[in-house]
Amino acid sequence: MRRQRALGLFVVLAGLAPIFFFSTVQGAAASNASRGPSPAPKSMTAAAEGVRATPTVGNFAGAVNHLGLTKYASLYAGDILNPGGSVTILLGPGSATSFRASLSALRAKPAVKALGPEPSVRIERVPQSIGVLDASSRTVSNHFAKLMAAGYKLATWMPNLRKGTVDVTLSAAPRGMSRSDVTRYFRRTLSSHLVVTSVSAPALHLFVDRQEDAVPFFGGDLIYNPNVGWCTSGFTVIGTAGYPRAMTDGHCGDGTFTNGGWYVGPNGGQPTATSGTVRTFGTTSNYHYGSNDDVQLVENPNEEGFNPYVWVGTGTNQPTAMAVTAPFTDFPAVGQQLTTDGAFTRTVRYVPVLADGSTDCGTFDGVKVCNLIELAGTSAQGVSPTAQPGDSGGPVFCYACSSAGVTPAGLIEGGTTAGQPVYATEIEADLKITGASMEESP
C-alpha cells in the first residue's frame, strides 16, 4: 500500500483482520476516517475460502519448500517448479537421509494429500545451501563501500544455486587486474564462494540505494507523489511503445513521481525530509484502478530510465541489485513462499501464500480489485509485518525459483498490522491489462 500524508482508513478484507488501504482521491482518507471499518463484501469472503479449499497442482511443492526452509535450512538450497508441474528439489552438501524420511512422512499427511495432485519430484544435489550463499552475498554487501573505494567497481552479485557460487560482476577493477585476479582476491578476503564473471559489466550505480536512486532506476525504490504520498516502484516492463516502463500500484495515484529527498528508517515509520538529490522518477503513462485492476506504468523522460533489476536487502544494509527473470505464468501455489520487497519494510523472504485466484477480490474505498495473492503477515522466519504503509507497488517475487535471478509474482497491494495477511496483485493480470511484457535481465 502507499503511504499518504494524511491518515488512512481501515478496510476489512475477506472477513479477516483490518488491512490498511488508501483512497487515490486526494483528501479522501481524512474525510472517510470517521466511518470506521467497512464490512467485507460477501462475494470476497466466499471466494477467498473457496481458493483455500480447492486443490491445485503445485501445492505439494509449497509444502516441500516450507519443510526445507524451516527444518533443513543448512541443507536445503531451493526448489524449481518445472514446466508441466514437476519439481526439482535442490539440496546442498550433507546427508539427505533425514530429509528424504521427512519428505516421505510429508507425503503421507492427510493435510498434504488434501492439497491436491502430487507432482513428480526429483532431488538434485548442488554444492551449497541457499543459507551459505546468502551469507556470502551479505559479506559482499557489508564490504561494498571499502571495495568501491579501493577501485573494485561492483555492478551485481547474486547466488548461482546450481553452481554453488555467488557470481559477481564489476564495471572496473583496480590496476588492470584480470577477472581471475579479482576472483582470487575476493575468495581470499571475502568468501571462498565468490566468482567474478566480468570486470567490464555496465556500471549499475550501486553507490546509491532504493531511497536515493539514479537513472536507470530499479524496482524497490521509494517513490513520492506530492498529491498522494509515498509508494514503491515495481518491476521494469516494456510498454506498448517499446520502451522501458516501471510498474507500481494504481492506488498510488497518477501524476509525476520522484525519488530522493526522503529517508525511511530501518523500522519503517513516517519518512523524514533529507537534503538528498531529488530526481524525476517518471510520470503515469498507463493507468488502471478499478474494474478489478490496480496497476499503472510509469514513463521516465530518459528512454533508458529503468533497468530489469530489483533492490534487495534488509534494514540499513546497502542493497544488492538482483536480476529479474521471466515471471510466473499463473498464480503461485498455496503454501509456496515468496519475497516481499517494499521501500519501507525492505526485503522479507519466506512469506507463505495463503490463498490466491482470479476470483480473490476486495473492495477498497468503493474500488473493486481482483486477481489477488494473499500472503502471510509473518514470514516463516518470524519477520512481522511483511509489508506496511508505503510498500504499495513494490516487487513480490520468488527468490530462488531461478538461479539467474528473482522470478516476478506480483506487486504489493496492501500491508496490515503485525501478523495479519498481506495482499499482492498477480503479475500476469498486471501485464495483460497494461499490454506490457516483462523485461528480463541479460
Task: Give the pLDDT confidence of 70-126 residue by residue, as tens digits.
Answer: 788 889 887 776 666 677 889 999 999 999 999 888 878 776 676 566 677 889 999
Mapped onto helix, strand or coil, the DSSP state of residue 28 is: helix
Q: Do residue 90 and residue 135 come from a single domain? A: no
Say whether pLDDT at 195 is over 80.
Answer: yes
CA distances from 353 to 13, 62, 110, 408 (A): 16, 9, 19, 14
Q: Do residue 107 and residue 152 come from a single domain? A: no
| Under 8 Å between Cβ of 338 and 398 | yes
- Domain end, chosen from 101, 125, 149, is at 125
The region that residue 84 occupies, defined by phi over 0 for left and psi between -120 and 50 for alpha, beta otherwise, is: left
Q: Do residue 191 and residue 144 come from a single domain? A: yes
| Under 8 Å between Cβ of 442 and 45 | no
Does residue 36 sit within a domain? no
Assigned C-alpha cell, 364: 477498497
Does residue 400 sit within a domain? no
Rounded CA-CA distance 374/364 in Å is 15
Q: Do residue 134 and residue 192 come from a single domain? A: yes
Q: Position 147: which residue type?
A: L
Q: Mind giving me the DSSP string for 254-306?
A: SSEEEESSEEEETTEEEEEE-SSPPEEEEEEEEEEEETBEEEEEEE-SSTT-E
CA distances from 258 to 225, 292, 298, 412, 429 (A): 7, 27, 11, 19, 26
Q: Do residue 139 and residue 121 come from a single domain? A: no
Does residue 67 sit within a domain? yes
Say whether pLDDT at 54 is over 80.
Answer: no
pLDDT in tens, 301-351: 887 889 999 999 887 777 888 999 999 999 999 999 999 999 999 999 999
**Could you give the strand order of the β-sheet that contains 306-312, starting from the edge strand earlier in sequence?**
217-219, 306-312, 320-323
Does residue 384 sit within a domain? no
Angle among Cα 287, 293, 295 to the nearest 5 degrees reads: 45
Predicted confidence at residue 136, as pLDDT, reads 87
- Domain end, chosen from 198, 216, 240, is at 198
| Under 8 Å between Cβ of 304 and 287 | no
Rounded CA-CA distance 132/194 in Å is 11
Q: Do residue 142 and residue 109 come from a single domain? A: no
Rounded CA-CA distance 439/385 in Å is 29
Q: Do residue 138 and residue 173 come from a single domain? A: yes
pLDDT in tens, 355-380: 999 988 877 667 889 999 999 999 98
- Residue 97's domain comprises 59-125
pLDDT in tens, 133-154: 878 887 887 788 789 889 998 8
296 closest CA partner among 185, 201, 434, 182: 434
Predicted confidence at residue 204, as pLDDT, reads 62
Considering its fold, how many domains does the chain have in total? 2
Does residue 328 sit within a domain? no
Predicted confidence at residue 85, as pLDDT, reads 65
Does residue 259 sit within a domain? no
Q: Do residue 105 and residue 154 come from a single domain? A: no
Q: Do residue 91 and residue 139 come from a single domain? A: no
Residues 6+ apart with CB under 8 A from 304: 215, 216, 244
- Domain end, chosen from 163, 183, 198, is at 198
Does residue 380 sit within a domain? no
Does residue 78 sit within a domain? yes
Q: How would you classify the pairing of strands 229-232 and 337-342?
A: unpaired
pLDDT in tens, 210-262: 998 988 899 999 999 988 899 999 999 999 888 899 999 999 999 999 999 99
